[in-house]
Structure 1
Amino acid sequence: MKLCVFCSANQQIDPLFFEMTHALGRWAAENGHSIVFGGHDAGLMHSVSKACKEAGGQVIGVVPRKIEEMGKLSPWLDVHIPTEDLTDRKELMMVQSDAFIVLPGGIGTLDELFTVVAAATLNYHQKPIILWNMNGFWNSLIACLDDLEAKGMMRNSWHTYIKTATTLDEVAAALF
């Protein structure tokens, strides 16, 4: 499978997130999966791509022009797919991927998550979307989604589209 990973490109975050992300990249390669990601050379993006590549896996970077202009292109890419902007990047990542795994991240990660979930609600795809709640990172988002659902703001339960996981084993099980 081509596993799209949405995650932070920041360095100053919990070291546990780096360890768990590294384990995901290694697991993906060892199980014959490729990693599709945003192509940045820092943070969890760097961790997952490096671990996958070092374990013999394929790494596919879908990279906006601005990241390249900033000199932030990952050195771990097997396939480099340049894009004009973030909208193109999300579209190509959706097309290139068989499943989506959402790791800790900020505004960009939330944008990517909600783009693929919104597409799923309209049946543009039926690919697994897994929110990896590392060390409770996504607890407040999960509470927000539960609140929106309780207030009738969703046609279906958000669990219809998003699976949650707290361990790598749960992530792996949610892919199938």
Structure 2
Amino acid sequence: ALHDDHAAGPLLDPWFVVPARVADALPALLDADREDPARLRLDGAALARTALEDAAAEAAAQPGTTWGDRHRLHPLHVLDDVPGCASPFAVDVGLGGDTDCVRSTSSTPGVSDRTWRGSVARYVWDLADRDRSRWNVPFGASGVPGDPHALDQLDAWVDARTTEVVTDWDLLHREDLPHPEDLP
């Protein structure tokens, strides 16, 4: 029954597929088994060795393939579940990082290498000198498809770079942008 269709739609697939749930729970299971070896009778070292050997064999079968070649951005959008609609941010870029790093991104191991989760913002605030503060968001500063700023930070976000934060009113300028309804 755990493998049956959860009927919650593709947006929630990562939270309901069994391999992803087991992968999330595995560190806790291995720690619990280390404290009480009779509990689950898992050989954590052997499991890790086997997983590493499997990954090495798969990598050897695909020479020259990088992490970013396999781990491609899969931007989820609320419109993805609406029949007849498509995500306004159809981008295909390779990503670095994994779940436990600054460039935190994640896929659903055992299901897909498409990366659907990453940082929603990165901020570096210099409290002594506000002008040295930096930030970045995935995609861009605007959430409006077609807006010039809809994807203006994507490359920097992919590379884990940041963008200057401008707070000096004398340096800011108004942009006369089209109304969202007038965008392509």
TM-score normalised per structure 2:
0.22
Give the number of the structure whose residues are more often helix, by fraction: 1
Q: Work out which of the two has the higher radius of gyration on C-alpha atoms and give 1 or 2.
A: 2
Give the number of the structure whose residues are more often strand, by fraction: 1
TM-score normalised per structure 1:
0.23
> Larger relative CO (CA 8 A, sep 6+): 1 or 2?
1
